[in-house]
Amino acid sequence: MIARARLIAVLAALVAGAIGIISSTQTWVDVILTAGSAPDIAVAGNDAVPVLAPLSLAALALGLALSIVGRILRYVFGALALAGAVWLFILTLQVVTGPPVAAVAAPITKATGIAGSSAIAALIDHAVVSGWAWGALFGWVLLAVSGAFTLATAHRWRTGGRRYETSIAAVAATGPLDAVDSWDSLSRGDDPTDAGRAAPEDEDETTRLDGRSHAPEGGS
């Protein structure tokens, strides 16, 4: 599990951010107004929760950054992910459990020209929450899991550069590359056959030099 900790944290943050971005443009709430007021109004996620799109983009960026940053920034990003997830969860939960007037006011004012919390509340007969709001709620749970998992396991994540240096040192000490080492070399963009080709060339050069040193001197 620890070996895959980074992958789990990164994927959870990316999925949460993607859900948030997609749902921000979808209908979260269908508002049914009192008879004769106006047609029913669809409230998008970005209208219901104004910070939805920017924080979802931040979650995506955070997920990508987790794959490359060092230990200290892992803890910083993990804490930010957890805090952002809690904030978004609370805002989304308010919409899901019963949309506050503030969450639907802007679209209603745009459609009817009526402003003011009390006046808008008088227009609303009831509201129907769509599955997109529930999906976003699930996304914030994933983001919280990413943050908590990062904070709990970041100190045990491997650092890519150190792993490669260790691999190179181990190969130099133990001899020729085996199949696994060759695959690691290819994944780094190295040609595992270079070392094998270099040795014969060095040997031929040494042989030529030895031959010259033992050649008989002519003309004496």
pTM score over 0.85: no
The model's pLDDT over 36-60, given as tens digits with 9 standing for 90+, comes to 667 788 899 999 999 999 999 999 9
pLDDT of residue 171: 46
Tell how far CA 41 is from the center of its chain. 34
Which tokens in the block code for residue 137?
């709620």
* Bigger pLDDT: 112 vs 15: 15
* Bigger pLDDT: 171 vs 19: 19
The model's pLDDT over 64-83, given as tens digits with 9 standing for 90+, comes to 998 888 889 999 999 999 99
Mean local confidence (pLDDT), 172-176: 49
Percent of the chain with pLDDT over 70: 69
Give residue limits of the domains in the chain. 2-157, 161-213
DSSP-assigned letters across all residues of 86-144? HHHHHHHHHHHHS--HHHHHHHHHHHH---SHHHHHHHEEEEEE-HHHHHHHHHHHHHH
Biggest alpha carbon distance in the chain? 124
Q: Which residues make Cβ contacts (< 8 Å) with residue 19, sequence separation at least 6? A: 56, 135, 136, 138, 139, 142
Residue type, 17: G
pLDDT of residue 116: 83
pLDDT of residue 163: 47
Query: Is the separation of the CB atoms in 95 and 52 below 8 Å?
Result: no
pLDDT of residue 54: 95
Mean local confidence (pLDDT), 119-140: 90
Q: What is the average pLDDT score of the chain?
A: 79
In which band, very low, low, confident or very high, does the pLDDT at 209 lie, cut at 50, 70 and 90? low
Q: Name the nearest CA neighbour of 15 among 5, 7, 3.
A: 7
